[in-house]
Amino acid sequence: MSIRVYMDHGAGRPVDPRVLDAMKPYFTERFGNPASFHSEGFKALEALKEARSSVAELINADPSEIVFTSGATESNNLALLGGALRNRKKGSKVVRSAVEHISVINICKELSRMGFEVAECPVDEAGVLDLMELEKHVDDDTVLVTVMAANGEIGTLQPIREAAELAHSHGALFHTDATAAAGQVPLDVKKLGVDLMTLSSNDVYGPKGVGALYVKKGVRVKPHMIGGGQENGIRSGTENVPGIVGMGEAARLAKQEMEAESKRLTALRDRLIEGVLAAIPESYLNGHPTERLPNNANIRFSYIEGEALMLSLDDLGIQLSTGSACAAKTLEPSHTLLACGLKHEEAHGSLVFTLGKNNNRNQVEYVIQELPGVVERLRAMSPLTPEELR
Amino acid sequence: MYSEKVLDHFKNPRNVGELEDADAEGTVGNPVCGDMMTMYIKVKDDRIEDVKFKTFGCGAAIATSSMTTELAKGKTLDEALKISRQDVADALDGLPLVKMHCSNLAADALHEAINSYKEKSTKK
């Protein structure tokens, strides 16, 4: 079968060929160490500098405020562990939203083992942070507040500026995980007023294994990688120059192309949602109808389970994700869907479509055409009745 | 990842559906956990003459249901009671470890159906 409709860009993206071209020389030709005081070292240093500027520009930061890491998970570790520990004297409380990425949730668990009080702020049924609740949770003992810019699973955009303002009114730092949002919606650290922002390279079509943390000038985080003092002493270790060059080029392209691409994706997303909901009875959109990432559609289907849906679609050349427990290592359904108030049995039947550069209208139509049959086949096998879902 | 056999039974499940004149049925699991299945049996001379299933759940849940019906068909009730979860998994060339417990319930559903049949016939 030659059909390949990859709609799982939230999980992994192809590297843009232009990014790969930019990276190539740094493997074999310009392989110098940026710390070396000779011409090969200078070339590498120059490349780092350029990449740092491109990443900074994507979020309107100063290049000196960008710390390169090994990816979003490390950036989250540096921001949350590093931010809370470095500022421990200020207080002992950390506040996060209920729909954070698993890495943020697990880092917060680690913080509570270290003696911090961790508060979880609820979201509404569309997954939007409840600012009134946030106000109740954030107090003068709060060191750090973390709220993702957009949720990668249900696509919901969060009121970051308001949340940051609230954190600052109590003297707390504000971190946002912008992994899913970057490259899709404009991010301006100055306008948003954030102190720390997590970015991932692969999520803007750069290579995997690279990320960055924006650390606002004057904000201190405790380094977790001790060594030769690279990245302003915040993240030691010889820089992954080819990877960083890739992330830089990816960020540069994202900045240039985001507006047009997001418009294109929004149209595809809306057609996908409208088409699927119209074609399949008892299917529902998860997340916010409009305040969502341009590339995200999360739809749930009653009476059936997401992993079985995923397997059936994979057979038709369609790849995506599910919020079902059956596809998770933990055997728990998506915490994000549960936080939105869905029941377990509803969360199990959810599919996550995350669109990207290589998706087009024909592919969306193919999904709309194939999905009803798949759903029908599984529903015919299911013993569930409307009463059981009530 | 699933074995070829699991994928085959998932894509082409055997004996799927309801058995209209079933002598007994057994249901295990629940929709909250993500797996629920019902086995229907038709019994003649103490043998499982026909068996069908309906399953809500993942690929493994559907494949184990299908395989269980294949293993049970034609067996005596006592033989069928001996079909274990492990037998079902083995017949499918294995299941991912994480699926062994939660999605491998079909043998239990079969046993439920048989026990319910036995209860009914002793009451008669």
Sort out which chain B residues have CB atoms less than 8 A from A327's CB and list them.
Answer: 58
Those residues whose C-beta lies under 8 Å from the C-beta of residue A339, and which sit 6 or more positions away, are: A98, A99, A122, A123, A127
Map residue A241 onto helix, strand or coil. helix
Tokens representing A177 are 């995980």
SS3 content of chain B, % helix, strand, coil (to 5): 45, 25, 30
Sort out which chain B residues have CB atoms less than 8 A from A389's CB and list them.
Answer: 31
Domain A17-254: give its CATH architecture.
Answer: 3-Layer(aba) Sandwich (3.40)
- What was the pLDDT predicted at B11? 96
**pLDDT digit string (tens) for A251-307?**
999 999 999 999 999 999 999 999 999 999 999 999 999 999 999 999 999 999 999
| CATH domain A5-12+258-389 topology | Aspartate Aminotransferase, domain 1 (3.90.1150)
Tokens representing A239 are 């820089």
Alpha-carbon distances of B82 from A256, B45, B72, B86, rounded to whole Å: 66, 18, 10, 11
d(C-alpha A21, C-alpha A315), whole Å: 33
B58 classed as catalytic: no
CB B19 within 8 A of CB B32: no
d(C-alpha A317, C-alpha A327), whole Å: 18
Q: With 90 as the cut, is the pLDDT of residue A372 above it?
A: yes
Lowest mean pLDDT segment, chosen from A115-124, A125-134, A327-336, B42-51: A327-336
d(C-alpha A229, C-alpha A236), whole Å: 5
Sort out which chain A residues have CB atoms less than 8 A from B14's CB and list them.
Answer: none
| CATH domain B4-123 topology | Sufe protein. Chain: A (3.90.1010)
**pLDDT digit string (tens) for B93-103?**
999 988 887 77
Which of A172, A202, A194 lies closest to A354 in space, CA to CA? A202
Alpha-carbon distances of B48 from A252, A298, B81, B109, rounded to whole Å: 67, 43, 11, 14
**pLDDT digit string (tens) for A124-136?**
999 999 999 999 9
Tell me whether residue A93 is exposed, middle or buried, using C-beta atoms within 10 angstroms of its C-beta: 0 to 12, 13 to 18, 19 or more. buried
Residues 289-328 of A with CB under 8 A from B: 303-305, 307-308, 311-312, 315, 324-327
d(C-alpha A135, C-alpha A177), whole Å: 20
Q: Do A303 and B56 touch (CB under 8 A)?
A: yes
pLDDT band at B124 (very low <50, low <70, confident <90, very high): low
Q: Do A345 and B55 touch (CB under 8 A)?
A: no
CB A92 within 8 A of CB A141: yes
- Percent of chain B past pLDDT 70, that is, above it, reads 99
Which residues in chain A are classed under CATH 3.90.1150.10? 5-12+258-389
Beta bridge partners of A67: A213
B102 classed as catalytic: yes
Q: What is the dihedral of CA A82, A88, A92, A97, to 10 degrees?
A: -30
Closest partner residue to B59 among A311, A343, A344, by Cβ?
A311
Map residue A387 onto helix, strand or coil. helix
d(C-alpha A59, C-alpha A70), whole Å: 19
Tokens representing A389 are 């879902």
User: For residue A323, what is the nearest residue in chain B, using CA coordinates?
Assistant: B34
Phi, psi for residue B30 in degrees, rounded to 5:
-155, 160
Sort out which chain A residues have CB atoms less than 8 A from B12's CB and list them.
Answer: none
- Best of B8, B16, B35, B56 to disrupt the A interface by mutation (most A CBs within 10 Å)? B56
Closest partner residue to B31 among A329, A345, A381, by Cβ?
A345
Task: Say how many Å lie between the first and final Cα of chain B, rounded.
Answer: 47
Q: With 80 as the cut, is the pLDDT of residue A165 above it?
A: yes
Sort out which chain A residues have CB atoms less than 8 A from B22's CB and list them.
Answer: none
> Per the residue annotation, which of B102, B115, B116, B118 is the catalytic one?
B102
Distance from the Cα of B58 to chain A's closest Cα (Å) equals 5
Threshold 0.90, pTM exceeds: yes
Which residues in chain A are classed under CATH 3.40.640.10? 17-254
